[in-house]
Amino acid sequence: MEAVQFIFWEAIKALALAVLGLLAIKAASGLRLKTLARAGLYALVLALAALGARGLGLDIAAEVAYWTSIRSLNRSDVPQAYLSALRAVERRPANLHYWQALARAKLSGRQFQSLVEDQPAFLQLARGPLDEDDLLRFALCRYSLQQYGQVIPMTQELIRASPVYTEPYVLEGLTYTALKKYPQAEKDFLNALQLYPSQADAVEGLAQVYFLTGETGKARAVLEATAKYPFPPKARKRFAALEDLYGQ
């Protein structure tokens, strides 16, 4: 739908540009001007038309690069996704969607510091609170860079904005675990599991908290309780590996 809207509006722009150019030339031809002045006016009209066409071309090139980035990321081709998103941003740096595509590519490519350095651009373009997905990406980068003190304010903002969004609880729980604040971490993981009992990361996080606090029995009980809920095979394998670890 977004692609259809883009094509529609770009077609309208192209049509408007062509009509305005023709009207300008017709109007100029009707003026009583000397040959040199008439030639200058025609040159001005052509220059303006060229600028409009260049802008239209940049719009189309940026949008093509944007969609190429999305398709590449869906195919797990992270380098191509990054390069395409970067081209889109370079052509139209005032478009927040292109920055978001670049952010997704950078996060997938573990370019955490580079993405953090883009945050001022997001704040300027958003002109208000950041989108939840954008804010979560920046929080994930801060966590990966071990900047734990900057993660908590972001996760708290996300939780206040959307209390039923489980990802901020999990990230906050992981951050508290890294800070060895285990009661707060336990609370966050439990909140996430109350909202979504099949949240695999919350299961692992809660079990790890109990293991780190010496409550191995509770850690194993958390993993055993997953039998009641549907989990993907990869998560089941991780749970089994943790059960073996905690049973040693």
Rounded Cα–Cα distance for residues 12 and 2 (Å): 15
Taking the CA atoms of residue 140, residue 142, residue 148 and residue 149 in that order, the dihedral angle to the nearest 10 degrees is: -120
DSSP string, 27-53: HHHTS---HHHHHHHHHHHHHHHHHHH
Q: Which two tokens stand for residue 207?
A: 């079990």
**Residue predicted with more confidence, 14 or 113:** 113
Do residues 86 and 68 make contact, with C-beta atoms less than 8 angstroms apart? no
- Mean pLDDT over residues 148-169, rounded? 95
Rounded Cα–Cα distance for residues 12 and 111 (Å): 38
Pick the range with the lowest mean pLDDT from 34-43, 66-75, 123-132, 158-167: 34-43
Kindly report whether the global pTM for this prediction surpasses the value 0.95: no
Do residues 226 and 239 make contact, with C-beta atoms less than 8 angstroms apart? yes
Q: Encode 65-77 in three state secondary structure.
A: HHHHHHHHHHCCC
Pick the range with the lowest mean pLDDT from 17-21, 134-138, 190-194, 241-245: 17-21
Do residues 58 and 91 make contact, with C-beta atoms less than 8 angstroms apart? yes
Do residues 176 and 184 make contact, with C-beta atoms less than 8 angstroms apart? yes
Rounded Cα–Cα distance for residues 231 and 240 (Å): 12
The per-residue pLDDT of the chain, averaged, comes to: 83
Model pLDDT, residue 69? 93
Tell me which residue has tokens 């990054």: 82
% of the chain exceeding 70 in pLDDT: 76
Model pLDDT, residue 190? 97
Q: Is the predicted pLDDT of residue 67 greater than 70, yes or no? A: yes
Do residues 199 and 166 make contact, with C-beta atoms less than 8 angstroms apart? yes
- Mean pLDDT over residues 29-39, rounded? 51
Model pLDDT, residue 47? 53
pLDDT bucket at 51, cuts 50 / 70 / 90: low
